[in-house]
Structure 1
Amino acid sequence: MSKLRVAIIGCGKIAKVRHIPEYAGRSDVELVGFADPVPGRAQEYADQYGGEAFLDYEEMLAKLKPDAVSVCTPNVLHAPAAIAAAKAGAHVLVEKPMAVSVEEGEAMIEAARAAGVYLMVGHNQRLMPPHVKAKQILESGILGRVLTFRTSFGHAGPERWSIDGRDSWFFDKSKAAMGAMGDLGVHKSDLIRWLLNDEVAEVASFISTLDKKDTDVDDNASCILRMKSGVVGTLVASWTYYKGEDNSTVLWCENGVMKIGTHPEDQVIVELRNGSVERHTVGAIATNDKQTTSGVIDAFVDSIRTGTPPSISGEEGLKSLRVILAAFESQATGKIVKL
């Protein structure tokens, strides 16, 4: 079997800790190119993994014609890079949020469809073992209907995480378009849609910049969601959890409660009204400090290898993005926004 020729657009932190090493860990993948506008950054990976380095991704696509591409750029470049890659005949894995507007997301989906390539969005929360287990438990029916929920994602901010620290593009609205909601909130809108097998119908939100200096991107958001089924819950995203990262979800159901990511060892806890408690130790939820294999790269490569459209498709990514954009609209208008 010939190796899948993969190129990376954007050589920042997510490429460094997830995409590049996870591709490199597969014997059926060859990393053929790296593109980044910062001189030397792409070259560092070409030196380490082989392949060629480029400052311009368009030049890389034209010269190398890769089979597949990971788009790991600042948010505002997701759409143009993904569309260019699709037009060059490459399957596309794009980081979240897939785009910064509905129109961009639709254009990406159309470009992939027209080119006959796959478009997948890196919503890794669906693939984390505790969330997979939680969905199995929900589908078993033991908890009955979900009635309410809260899902939260917060850490101390991208200055601790990004390759550029406090000078990161994450804080530059012209490159990021949105802050904690684009970084973390969209993960949770995707997770809750998938866990509940339900769509968000209405959003009300408070989104603001509470503590980060010299930036006009949001660092905190608290949202109320009503799902199509009537389930009501909260979604929280924060870059100011300076002590204690949180990536937890709690579901209150007819027959009990399920707590995901609230305990350091027992990642999924089911407490039933009859007094019984089930604890599941099923592997960790990845954090910035403790990276685990995301599963996203394997899912993307396997999808291409088997000719099976990715489950975390562009269409799915767009539905999750719409929730976040609706939250910004709610903050701007002071009204509940219907999806």
Structure 2
Amino acid sequence: MLGLVIGCGSIGKRHISNLIKLKNCQVIAYDISENQRLQVEDKFKITVFDNLCDAFEQKPMFAVICSPTYLHIEHAILAAQNGCHLFIEKPLSNLMTGMNTLFEDVSSQKLITFIGCNMRFHPGPSKVKEIISSGKIGKILYARIETSSYLPGWRPEQDYKKSYSANEQQGGGCVLDSIHELDLACWYLGDVKSVFSVTRNLGFLGIDAEEISEIISDFYSGTIASIHLDYVSQNYVRRNHIIGEYGSIFWDFNCVTVDVYLASTNEWEVHKLPENYDLNEMYIDEMRYFISCITDKTDSFNDIGFALKTLRYALAVKESSELKCMVTLEEIE
């Protein structure tokens, strides 16, 4: 099974490396940068094209879209029109432009689509989801989901100010870059009805995209969620706190447990997670899952339809802050 990786930045290289490890997968790639092409050819010994048409002539079965966010839809449409199943790195896009065309092409070609959501494959959120779905803590009343990190530390080998993450026009900013937390909120709690946010460029990092966002979300289920995202914390934070009718769930990325408080017994259940967990495993697992969807001809659980809801959520967050009011997702077109 031949896969084409479009975009050979850090996440593109990770996917190339992981695809090479998977059974029955061959890989080719494309990048506009000669330097990136040479790096990938030297490290992975694969063919890297400087022209997408030439890459599509190799008849790849699937494409992995790892270009900057603002190019995702353009590249996904080209791949779909060439009959490729689609793995699109998060987020689906930074705009709603081109969605109708993409959906029509995917439907007419009967293609499998999957938008990267590696945190769903991490043992922590996976266990949180399992406990929520079990009904152990009853109806979910409130959730706090947060992540804090330091953009300059993401890719120390390059100038962060020149990365797409720092450039709002290219789809950068903490809301879209940290869309994992919005995705987890939807995965845990269902569809979002409306949001209010304070989302701001603090001027701390010298970039033009937003650096921090505080979000209040109202879900159709009746759950209220508070979500925090930022680029400015020099210590890494990622955690969930879920409050239900009968107890609470706590998960912290920096710990190796998911803790559940049960009011009926006034006791804690401690669910141990794998120690020394290799974070690359969640990327391998999500790629293996995508390949299995192609092989089994089954829709993925995070196809372009689900990911479009998450994108609307993110765009509503931005619009709410700009308008200084609550925004319903139905208003985002």
**How high is the TM-score relative to the length of structure 2?**
0.92
Report which stretch shifted further, 313-322 or 107-116.
Answer: 107-116
1:188 Cα deviation after fit = 1.2
1:276 Cα deviation after fit = 1.4
Aligned to 2:155: 161
After superposition, give the CA deviation of every residue in 1:190-209 in whole Å (9 maximum; x if it has no partner). Answer: 1111112x110010001111
Aligned to 1:46: 41
For the 8 Å contact 2:205–2:232, the answer to whether it is kept is: no
Report matched runs for 1:198-209 at 5 Å. Answer: 198-209=190-201
1:221 Cα deviation after fit = 0.4
For the 8 Å contact 2:119–2:282, the answer to whether it is kept is: no
SS in 2 for 1:24: helix
Q: Structure 2: which amino acid aligns with 1:337?
A: V
After superposition, give the CA deviation of every residue in 1:173-203 in whole Å (9 maximum; x if it has no partner). Answer: 2322x4111110x21111111112x110010
CA distance in 2, matches of 1:319, 1:92: 18
Distance 1:40 1:121, change over 3 A: same
Residue among 19, 31, 34 paired with 1:36: 31
RMSD over aligned CA atoms reads 2.0
Residue among 249, 252, 266 paired with 1:275: 266
CA distance in 2, matches of 1:135, 1:110: 32
Residue among 51, 54, 57 paired with 1:56: 51
Report matched runs for 1:1-339 at 5 Å. Answer: 4-17=1-14, 19-31=15-27, 33-61=28-56, 63-157=57-151, 160-161=154-155, 164-166=158-160, 167-176=162-171, 178-184=172-178, 186-196=179-189, 198-243=190-235, 245-261=236-252, 264-266=255-257, 268-273=258-263, 274-283=265-274, 291-294=280-283, 295-339=285-329
Q: Structure 2: which amino acid aligns with 1:293?
A: M
After superposition, give the CA deviation of every residue in 1:206-259 in whole Å (9 maximum; x if it has no partner). Answer: 11111444321111100000000111111111111112x122111011111101
Q: Which runs of 5+ in 2 are unaligned?
A: none
SS in 2 for 1:164: coil
For the 8 Å contact 2:124–2:253, the answer to whether it is kept is: no
CA distance in 2, matches of 1:182, 1:300: 22
CA distance in 2, matches of 1:188, 1:55: 34
For the 8 Å contact 1:98–1:105, the answer to whether it is kept is: no
Q: Structure 1: which amino acid aligns with 2:268?
A: V
For the 8 Å contact 1:226–1:232, the answer to whether it is kept is: yes
Q: Structure 1: which amino acid aligns with 2:233?
A: Y
For the 8 Å contact 2:7–2:29, the answer to whether it is kept is: yes
Q: Which runs of 5+ in 1 are unaligned?
A: none
**How high is the TM-score relative to the length of structure 1?**
0.90
1:106 Cα deviation after fit = 4.0
Q: Structure 1: which amino acid aligns with 2:17?
A: P
1:262 Cα deviation after fit = 5.6
CA distance in 2, matches of 1:231, 1:195: 10
CA distance in 2, matches of 1:324, 1:270: 29
For the 8 Å contact 1:34–1:46, the answer to whether it is kept is: no
1:56 Cα deviation after fit = 3.0
